[in-house]
Amino acid sequence: MIKLYTQTSCHSSLAARQWLSAHDIAFEEKNFSTDLPTVTELKHILSLTENGLDDIISKRSKYYSEVAEQLPQMKLNDALKLLSTHPKLLRRPIIVSANKIQIGFNADDIRQFIPRAIRRMKFDVMLNRYALGEI
């Protein structure tokens, strides 16, 4: 099951929600504005990133400047507790499956959440159209 982590009034979160719905991809949404992330959820998100906290922290957040100097010295659990109580520090949306993650909305990258069989079928249709000279 795909989890979509969003925040209220975030245009990228809205775009991700609409894209997943338009492609009939089942997802569970959690809005961090009303339902704070847990440390366990954040650990799972981090486990899928390449660069750890750097991938999920929004440096454009208003609160970031207040904690920027402290973050590099923080223990991981302390940083996760901070993020769970101040979710506006997180980039959004965060889209997670069992082994994939996308942070932020990107119309090309989000296609990774379309099941492989469906992507393969669409690719085969396109190849057939090409072979027939339709494209």
Cβ burial, residue 92 (10 Å; 0-12/13-18/19+):
buried
Beta strands 2-6 and 94-96, pairing class: antiparallel
Q: CA 90, 41, 7, 75: dihedral to nearest 10 degrees?
A: -20
Active site residue 10: yes
How far is residue 114's CA from residue 111's CA, in Å, rounded to a whole number?
A: 5
Q: Exactly one of 4, 5, 7, 10 is catalytic; which is it?
A: 10
How far is residue 15's CA from residue 108's CA, in Å, rounded to a whole number?
A: 13
Question: How are strands ordered across the β-sheet holding 2-6?
Answer: 27-31, 2-6, 94-96, 101-103
Residues involved in catalysis: 10
